[in-house]
Amino acid sequence: MSEFAIQAKKVCKSYGTVPVLFDVDFEVKKGEIHALIGENGAGKSTLVKILAGYHQQTSGELLRNGRPVVYHSIGAAEADGVVMIHQEFNLCNDLTVEENIFLGKELVKRGLLDKAAMRQRSGEILGRLGTTINPRSRVKDLSVSEKQMVEIAKALAFNSEVLIMDEPTAVLTQGEIEVLFRIIRALRDHGVSIVYISHKLNEIKELADRVTVLRDGYRVATEKVSDLSEDDMARLMVGRELTTLFPPKGGPPKREVPVLEVRNISCPKYVHNASFQLYEGEVLGFAGLIGAGRTELMECVVGLRRRSAGTVIYRGQPLSARSYGDAIKQQIVYLSEDRKGKGLFTSMPLAPNVTILSLQDHLTRIGFLDSKKEDATLDRTLEEFDVRVPSKRALLSMLSGGNQQKIALGKMMQVDPDVVILDEPTRGIDVGTKQQVYYFVRELVKQGKSCILISSELPEIVGLSDRVIVMRSGVIMGELTGADINEEEIMLYATGVKGGMAG
Amino acid sequence: MNQVSAGGLAKVKALGSRFSWQDIGPIIAVIALMILGTAINPTFLSMGNLTNVFTRSAFTGIIAIGATFVIGTGSIDLSVGSMAAFNSGMMIIFMNYLVQHWGATWSTIIAAMVLSLVLGAVGGLVNGLVITRGKIESFIVTLGTMGIFRSLVTYLADGGTLSLNLPVRGLYRPVYYGTFLKIPIPLIIFFIVAVVGAVLMYKTRFGRYVLAIGSNYDVAHYSAINVNRIRVLTYILQGICVAIATIIYVPRLGSASGSTGYGWELEAIAAVIIGGTAMKGGTAKILGTVAGAIIFSIIGNILNLSDAISQYLNGAVQGLIIIGAVLVQRTSKE
């Protein structure tokens, strides 16, 4: 018997004529948590998709328990115990939890569904995961983290031996992450091998046994996690020194010119009586747990969501609450946290994505759309933001996450914004691109613009913000400046131990 | 994180060269059908027959141009055939009334044309407002108005037929049967509507917003597009297209009844789909729509000219063509 649950040997993969993986060796031992890291476009997704039967390698071979295997389909890989859990969930929202768990593999007795058996099995598996989800509730009524648990339950229902998880914590809160880690460790102790893709190096340090680093389609290292520091991992991923992830801050906040004054905004169920000021030339961080109402508050500010009360004053003038279009005219822009669902048109080419906010600047003299001007704007954006694209005529969906985010930033900049509201601007992007985003934000505020940064990654809030507001359950709990901006202090407010002065 | 997908690369090539089989597929189909028609019966190519074929395609073609916008946003309008019938009825009643005061003059006809345009625009406005303000599926709303318009015209005609005053009919006749530089007038109008449609779709902000909404409703909303306003505008545009089609249809028969324009909505939608526009929205092929409308007309004509298939099977052949065209598009994409 082999000590490895699954191995890739000298695996190459090309899409058409574009090679994306070069002679990659990758071995996962039985009962280990093996992290896979790399920048966007390094080939992580391609590699795990080959392991899970989504794609076939161009050359090289796969070994399962030491025996060569070929997976022609996802089903073949699953039948052999290799299951991938997606970043985006593969669940039918209108079906119940138990129906989802057994989807496509229903238990049958005398030609009819054996619902009792499936219900019992579902209950057992969910119990093993330590969740209290009711197997009969509909998936659409579950929270994001509960859906994730259902995905894992789905994989466990069939005695998977290799579990591939692609960014499982991207949408989870700290508490939920801890539960997930406990489950992952328990699975490992039962002999399951876990391939764990994440951009969060601190998680990998905490959770994984070994780590493989990919860069530009090559494997650059496989090491024990205990032998590497987070800095080492970042360096291996990027291939250069990441001297400082965050640019230096702009000194103590001046608080001279208030740009945006938000007074007593409420939005039923989400935001209660929130007030704050944004000053010229500052990065104002908004921290809080997921569901704290930060996104909803900002959507109320820019007119994307109806507010039940409150006013917004922008440079001394009231800002209309009616539509986002009014905010854009005043050069206030909002970057959505949901890049694919709300931020960009994935099925459209790049140019219309970049120019959609600023079509009035891309017209001919008689008022028709000017494709030459649009192309020029695209060229400028690609260069300014260092976007890597397969072709200028590519569809947006062909870009990696980090490059899509750069397009989203470029789109926003077309209206020459004065106030920039960024909602989770680095979600799901690699550390190199993150650094570029941070320097971009700092550069903006240096030019006298103002920025609101919503982030659930505390290091990001701490590293980038000049001032931090913490929200909890729709209420602003407190404001931190200077040395008070640290992770411990923020968590005290976010969890309700401290603060609540405004409430 | 995601690498370039294999299907994606094929698209890059297609986009890079700015040439795509999908775009010219419907045109090739038109040419192929014309060759087939000539092979079956040489009279197909006669000037008289071709003129007839293309002129017949004008009604559904003009309506289909409007439908391309509605479908481009990912919606649908099932009420167009009934609306055409209702408009026809109202035009005839209005002209029959005006003729008592103004006589059989062009003023009478032009006033009725204006009425048709106003009714079309208002009908579209109502469809659009109910859909957007009421937050109801466009399929449901227009299924409802389809029944309402159809029933109204039947009521106006008292279950029978509304006939246009004979002298007015004589004066109005050339709008359908006349020619300009030997080209039938309906064809000229079809051409103008198609060109205006193409300019609107590809060269204006309105067109871009239509495709943006069809591509992703939420992203459009988050891109400061007034989604409801644009959707209402597409329905108004659709209504105006129906009105234009009605204006050239009325002089053809000079009558309207409960069965006028029957099934036009399906023919228009089919022309749009055959032309390569996706039902879910986000793409729109105006030239394809024009070709789609012509394809339908040619098939009907070929069946007329040949003895091989009964012309009662016209609908069956059309159905096969719709399914076949979408299958071809699907496979050429993959």
Contacts of A393 in chain B (CB under 8 A): 12, 15-16, 18
Q: Is residue A230 one of the residues assigned to a domain?
A: yes
Structure tokens at B201: 């779709």
Tens of pLDDT along B39-94? 888 888 888 888 888 888 999 999 999 999 999 999 999 999 999 999 999 999 99
pLDDT at A87: 65
CB A334 within 8 A of CB A304: yes
Contacts of A328 in chain B (CB under 8 A): 224
Domain that holds residue B274: 50-333
CA gap A48, A84 in Å, rounded: 8
Nearest-CA distance from B284 to chain A in Å?
A: 12
Pick the last residue of a domain from A238, A264, A282: A238
Burial class for B266, CB neighbours closer than 10 Å (0-12, 13-18, 19+) = middle
pLDDT of residue B9 exceeding 50, the answer is no
Pick the last residue of a domain from A238, A257, A277: A238
B181 touches chain A (CB under 8 A): no
pLDDT at B195: 96
Contacts of B223 in chain A (CB under 8 A): 356-357, 411
Nearest-CA distance from A396 to chain B in Å?
A: 10
Q: Is residue B28 one of the residues assigned to a domain?
A: no
Q: Is residue B218 one of the residues assigned to a domain?
A: yes
Residue among A11, A15, A215, A335 with most chain B CBs within 10 A, to mutate: A15
Does A167 share its domain with A27?
Answer: yes
> In sequence order, which residues have a C-beta less than 8 Å from that of residue A305 and are 6 or more positions away?
A267, A296, A299
Q: Is residue B20 one of the residues assigned to a domain?
A: no
Q: For chain B, how many structural domains are there in total?
A: 1
Q: Whole-model pTM above 0.90?
A: no
Residue B334 pLDDT level (bands cut at 50, 70, 90): low
Q: Is residue B39 one of the residues assigned to a domain?
A: no
Does A86 share its domain with A178?
Answer: yes
pLDDT mean by block of 10 residues, chain A; 503 residues: 88 80 93 89 87 91 92 89 80 88 84 87 84 86 82 81 86 78 89 90 91 90 91 80 74 77 92 93 89 91 91 90 88 91 92 94 92 94 90 87 92 94 88 89 92 89 92 91 86 79 44
Q: Is residue B283 one of the residues assigned to a domain?
A: yes
pLDDT at B332: 63
Q: Which residues 334-353 of A are in CB contact (within 8 Å) with B?
A: 334, 336, 338, 341-349, 352
CB B192 within 8 A of CB A315: no
A-to-B residue pairs, Cβ atoms closer than 8 angstroms: 120
Length of chain A as a residue count = 503
Q: Is residue A339 one of the residues assigned to a domain?
A: no
Does A135 share its domain with A83?
Answer: yes
**∠ Cα B291 B265 B173 (to 5°):** 75
Q: For chain A, how many structural domains are there in total?
A: 3
Measure Cα distances from A206 to A17, A84, A192, A195 in Å.
Answer: 39, 22, 18, 15
Does A397 share its domain with A422?
Answer: no
Residue B3 pLDDT level (bands cut at 50, 70, 90): very low
Task: Give the CATH number of the domain where residue A108 resides.
Answer: 3.40.50.300
Structure tokens at A363: 């017209």
Domain that holds residue A366: 345-414
Tens of pLDDT along B285-306? 999 999 999 988 888 888 888 7
Helical segments of B163-226, H only: 166-172, 174-177, 185-203, 205-215, 217-222
pLDDT at B164: 92
ipTM for the complex? 0.82
CB A354 within 8 A of CB A324: no
CA gap A186, B325 in Å, rounded: 54
Q: Is residue A336 one of the residues assigned to a domain?
A: no
Does A266 share its domain with A214?
Answer: no
pLDDT of residue B263 exceeding 90, the answer is no
pLDDT at B16: 38
Q: Is residue B5 one of the residues assigned to a domain?
A: no
Q: Is residue A249 one of the residues assigned to a domain?
A: yes
Q: Which of A221, A279, A287 is nearest to A253 (CA)?
A: A279
Residue contact B12–A342, C-beta within 8 A: no
Task: Give the CATH number of the domain where residue B303 resides.
Answer: 1.10.3470
Of the CA atoms within 13 Å of residue A502, those in its CB half-sphere come to 23
Q: Is residue A410 one of the residues assigned to a domain?
A: yes
A145 touches chain B (CB under 8 A): no
Q: Is residue B4 one of the residues assigned to a domain?
A: no
Pick the last residue of a domain from A238, A268, A284: A238
pLDDT of residue B7 exceeding 60, the answer is no
Q: Is residue B161 one of the residues assigned to a domain?
A: yes
The DSSP bridge pattern shows strands B179-180 and B183-184 to be antiparallel
| C-alpha torsion angle, residues A232, A236, A238, A240 (rounded to 10) | 80
